[in-house]
């Protein structure tokens, strides 16, 4: 199984919290789409598996693509790769981009899953984050999208400064009333070199409160579990049959090819990442040159990534798999380090699996780092 990721590096405006690569100018959109197709042609033989089972349009804002853009990209995908008949094809969309016409375009192009960046149903939150849509568009876009798509996920952000528990509960309540099969919910994080970090430093916005974020997380997990959603990864909740196949493939260390500026790729032992600059990306590919850097992961690096990604999921760490992939030395190290976390009640051993407990879920990244193998 292989996955294809396509990065669309354009946005209408910059969200205050975002540190992804994008441009607010779409002057070079046509040129960039052309180079996306050229990169696919040049890299089509990099994946050992000749069948693509998930395609993911991320960004940036992929919903800015026109019908002609999508047609061109899908022609390149189908020409260069073999696509599974039941492939999951996801496109990230912003509420303000969605219309009856646009939704029909996406459906006709072959998109079968939408991920809508709602973030909040409250105007004050959206304005603080500098989102391009308003609360009315957040709600209306989802109701409209349900006419065209069954498989819809929305993003929500918690831990927003001055967001009360009551407002967060109302966000969840509105989302549940819409009857969606999947939610991705993230704690607001303050990334370096973002507008949000600068505003907090200047005292214009209150700092993120970790205790408030933890309270929001507890409310979220309890409420969604009561409504039949499965927390199959720390930030992702889905009804049975609606887990993101693209994200699950990533957590299980499957191969993926990343196309576009700043896109990452992984073949099982090597990681590559494209230049995070639209102009440099376009100029390189115009000359037939691939604008990426790469690193070969050591055995310890691969083990550490396995621990970090799998521990965030409901499947946890498979001890037999650790031994098979990395050897007895790594398994013994893992069990020795895990014993400390088990005694603290934040990790548990069920048969041949190590799983995060309810108590430890908000601490998963820290727990993972404690299990790392350091050279």
Tokens coding 255: 């191969």
Residue 84 CA to residue 87 CA, distance in Å, equals 5
CATH class in words for 300-371? mainly alpha
CB 265 within 8 A of CB 258: yes
* Separation of alpha carbons 163 and 228, rounded Å: 25
Q: In what order do the strands lie in the sheet with 113-119?
A: 230-233, 236-238, 182-187, 152-158, 113-119, 82-93, 51-59, 2-8, 255-259, 264-266, 270-274, 292-296
Please give the class, per CATH, of domain 2-250.
alpha beta
Tokens of 228: 């039949």
Q: Half-sphere exposure of 22 toward its Cβ, with a 13 Å CA cutoff?
A: 20
Give the C-alpha separation, 180 to 339, whole Å: 39
> Under a CB-based contact definition with an 8 Å cutoff, are residues 219 and 165 in contact?
yes
Nearest CA to 11 out of 55, 56, 58 is that of 58
Would you state the pLDDT for residue 21? 84
Q: Are 163 and 112 in contact (CB under 8 A)?
A: no
Give the per-residue pLDDT at 143.
98
Q: How many residues does the chain have?
A: 375
User: Strand pairing of 236-238 and 182-187?
Assistant: antiparallel
Q: Among candidates 187, 324, 186, which has minimal Cα distance to 253?
A: 324
- CA nearest to 373, candidates 319, 315, 320, 332: 332
Q: Indicate yes or no: pTM above 0.85.
A: yes
Cβ pair 115, 92 in contact under 8 A: yes
**How far, CA to CA in Å, does 272 sit from each of 22, 292, 351?**
19, 6, 36
Residue that is written with structure tokens 């020795």 in the block: 336
Q: What pLDDT shows up at residue 50?
A: 67
Structural domain boundaries in the chain: 2-250, 300-371
Block residue for tokens 């970790």: 210
Which DSSP helix (H) or strand (E) runs through 158?
strand 152-158
pLDDT in tens, the chain (375 residues): 799 999 999 999 989 888 888 888 888 999 999 999 999 999 999 987 669 999 999 999 999 999 999 999 999 999 999 999 999 999 999 999 999 999 999 999 999 999 999 999 999 999 999 999 999 999 999 999 999 999 999 999 999 999 999 999 999 999 999 999 999 999 999 889 889 899 998 999 999 899 999 999 999 999 999 999 999 999 999 999 999 999 999 999 999 999 999 999 999 999 999 999 999 999 999 999 999 999 999 999 999 999 999 999 999 999 999 999 999 999 999 999 999 999 999 999 999 999 999 999 888 889 999 999 986
Identical fold between 2-250 and 300-371: no
């Amino acid at each position: 199984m292989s996955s294809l990721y396509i990065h669309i590096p354009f946005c209408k405006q910059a969200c205050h919290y975002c540190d992804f690569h994008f441009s607010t100018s779409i002057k070079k959109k046509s040129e960039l789409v052309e180079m996306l197709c050229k990169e696919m042609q040049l890299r089509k033989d990099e994946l050992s598996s000749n069948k693509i089972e998930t395609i993911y349009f991320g960004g940036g804002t992929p919903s800015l693509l026109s019908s002609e853009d999508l047609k061109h990209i899908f022609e390149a995908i189908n020409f260069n790769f073999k696509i599974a008949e039941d492939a999951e094809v996801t496109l990230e969309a912003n509420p303000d981009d969605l219309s009856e016409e646009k939704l029909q375009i996406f459906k006709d192009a072959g998109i079968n899953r939408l991920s809508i960046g709602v973030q909040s149903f409250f105007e004050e939150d959206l304005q603080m984050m500098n989102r391009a849509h308003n609360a009315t568009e957040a709600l209306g876009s989802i109701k409209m999208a349900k006419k065209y798509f069954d498989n819809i996920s929305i993003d929500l952000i918690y831990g927003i400064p001055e967001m009360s528990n009551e407002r967060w509960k109302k966000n969840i309540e509105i989302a549940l009333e819409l009857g969606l099969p999947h939610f991705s919910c993230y704690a607001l994080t303050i990334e370096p070199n973002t507008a949000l970090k600068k505003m907090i430093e200047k005292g214009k916005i209150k700092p993120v409160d970790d205790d408030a974020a933890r309270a929001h997380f507890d409310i979220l997990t309890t409420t969604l579990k009561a409504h039949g959603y499965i927390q199959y990864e720390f930030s992702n909740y889905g009804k049975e049959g609606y887990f993101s196949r693209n994200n699950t493939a990533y957590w299980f260390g499957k191969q993926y090819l990343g196309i576009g500026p700043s896109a990452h790729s992984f073949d099982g032992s090597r990681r590559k990442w494209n230049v995070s600059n639209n102009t440099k990306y376009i100029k390189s590919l115009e000359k037939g040159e691939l604008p990426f850097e790469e690193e070969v992961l050591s055995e310890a690096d691969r083990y550490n990534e396995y621990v970090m990604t799998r521990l965030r999921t409901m499947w946890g760490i498979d001890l037999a798999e650790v031994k098979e992939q990395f050897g007895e030395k790594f398994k013994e190290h893992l069990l020795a380090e895990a014993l400390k976390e088990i005694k603290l009640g934040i990790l548990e051993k069920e048969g041949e699996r190590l799983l995060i407990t309810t108590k430890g879920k908000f601490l998963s990244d820290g727990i993972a780092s404690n299990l790392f193998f350091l050279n």
